[in-house]
Amino acid sequence: MELQRLPGFRDFYPDDRAWLNYIFDCWRKTATSFGFSEYDGPTLEASDLYRKKSGEELKTQLFRFVDQGDRDVCLRPEMTPTLARLVAAREREFKKPIKWFSIASFFRFEKPQKGRLREFFQVNCDLIGDNSVAADAELISLAVQMLRDFGLTGQDFYVRLNDRRLWSEFLKRRKIDLSRTTEFLNIIDKLEREEKDRTAQKLGTFGLTLDDIQEFLRTPGEQLPGFEDLFRELQWRGVAEYCQLDLTVVRGLDYYSGIVFELFDRGKENRAIAGGGRYDQLISVISDGAVDLTAAGFAIGDVVLRNLLEELNHARAIAQERMTGRGLRGYMVIAAESHRPEAIKLATRLRSAGISIDFPLEPAKVGKQFQAAESLGARYAIVIGQEWPEVRLKDLRKRAETAVPEAELESALKSEN
RNA sequence: GUGGUCGUAGCUCAAUGGUAGAGCCCUGGAUUGUGGUUCCAGCUGUUGCGGGUUCGAGUCCCGUCGGCCACCCCA
């Protein structure tokens, strides 16, 4: 019996790692283009960091243990508390608004299934110290752009947008105890999935009926000042058409205080690709009131995203193209072993110039070497033979071969085509 | 945590309860300086693991560990 991989964890063989790199590169490029700076934090955090902001149920989903120093620690299940800690600790060093992103791995002890594993990666983008609707719009716009950069379109995904304050107002107006907000939002969250009877029964404990809710759902968000401003901001950014108001989107986390949104794929699966919102009180809570900064952010996970990119033909084609573009530039075919020393010196020089080069470590037949070049995905074969110092440069895609003096090889390999 | 379903070669899968196979991949070769095709040969298994029924179990039964899916939960 061989050693097994832990359930919910993945190996990343080169093909898988290429996918991950492609996704990371895309995330990083887009976040940077919006003026966000990359940061990171530790993978392991004190358990208290997560207890401060959440309920008791959390602990079954944490990778939690006591270290050799008798500290109660957790593998991070999300980035936001770490971010809040970082910002709270050195808040005055950074000009506002703080626009940061990170690409990191997270751990949750859950039952693995489609789109949900025990270790996964997320890009987290947060905008801190600005509570304008422009900040909200900026984040939504960034989330949309991040998906568009993978070749996804409005045909593939859309944004479900809501503001929790709409429900807060709703509760206030009906004189319902606001301390039960979380309980209430949980019912709203399940509105589409749970049986109507069950929902009605739960609502009954609030003195509400299903009709009360349905009626409120039909009335758009003009009841909250600022929502029109938000949509105007979204329009300026060209992302309003991706968004639709959906009051049933509330998101599970307690700490969301304003807008919340999720990006869904339009396929029948309808899974959330990304989610986020405004959490104006969290930094204050984490820092025990020392620092009070408004904030909003979102995260995109790698698992659902990759599933989706592989399912959609156009997105998969783009991914394949961008991933193979980074292959080997030249494979050196050493046809004359007597020139191996020169060949290796040449390869070393080309590599120093940033050109990816490989060659056989031991003598091999020329045919074999060409096969190797082919299977390694090399763009060019460089044949080192008796003609040295002249070499033969063969374009493996075009199947065309030319003679090139070795001194000119570098520029020949660098020229685009 | 609950339920369904599936575990056979590295991968994808065959095998009415009766001697475990194919394709792909990989390795080597096809008169020694040219690759996506082709041909030949070779390699690989405690049929996930442990019990049970049977003359005989990959096949039937129980347990267990995994995978997938749904529920729960979702940061």
Domain presence at residue A377: yes
Model's pTM, two decimal places?
Answer: 0.89
The residue to which tokens 């999935």 are assigned: A193
Shared domain check, A357 and A296: no
Domain presence at residue A40: yes
Shared domain check, A122 and A45: yes
Shared domain check, A397 and A277: no
The DSSP element (H or E) to which A44 belongs, if any, is strand A44-46
Among chain A residues 228-287, those with CB within 7 Å of any atom of strand B: 251-253, 269, 275
Query: A1 falls in which pLDDT band (50, 70, 90)?
Result: very low
Shared domain check, A156 and A257: yes
Nucleotide nearest to A378 (CA to C1'): B35
Domain presence at residue A9: no
Shared domain check, A396 and A338: yes
Nucleotide nearest to A61 (CA to C1'): B73
Q: Which of these three, A320, A354, A380, is where a domain ends? A: A320
Shared domain check, A342 and A315: no
- pLDDT of A190-232, one tens digit each? 887 777 777 888 888 888 888 888 888 877 555 666 788 999 9
Q: Which of these three, A269, A286, A320, is where a domain ends? A: A320
**Quick one: which of A6, A1, A209 has its CA closest to A107?**
A6
What is the Cα–Cα distance from A140 to A134, expressed in whole angstroms? 10
A355 sits within 7 Å of strand B by its CB: no
Please compute the mean of the pLDDT values over residues A143-167 and round it to a whole number.
92
Among chain A residues 62-81, those with CB within 7 Å of any atom of strand B: 62, 77-78
Shared domain check, A334 and A250: no
A328 sits within 7 Å of strand B by its CB: no
- Let me know: does A107 contact A138? Beta carbons within 8 Å: no
What is the Cα–Cα distance from A64 to A74, expressed in whole angstroms? 4
Shared domain check, A376 and A292: no
Which amino acid residue lies closest to nucleotide B75, measuring CA to C1'?
A78
CATH code of residue A290: 3.30.930.10
Domain presence at residue A266: yes
CATH code of residue A405: 3.40.50.800
Chain B bases closer than 7 A to any CB of the protein: 1-2, 26, 29-30, 32-36, 48-49, 65-75
Shared domain check, A260 and A341: no
With a CB cutoff of 8 Å and minimum separation 6, the contacts of A95 are none
**Quick one: which of A369, A368, A399, A400 has its CA closest to A384?**
A369
Domain presence at residue A213: no
Domain presence at residue A195: no
- pLDDT of A375-405, one tens digit each? 888 899 999 999 889 999 999 888 888 999 9
Shared domain check, A147 and A61: yes
The DSSP element (H or E) to which A261 belongs, if any, is strand A259-265
Domain presence at residue A173: no
By residue range, what is the domain housing residue A127? 14-164+219-320
What is the Cα–Cα distance from A259 to A166, expressed in whole angstroms? 9
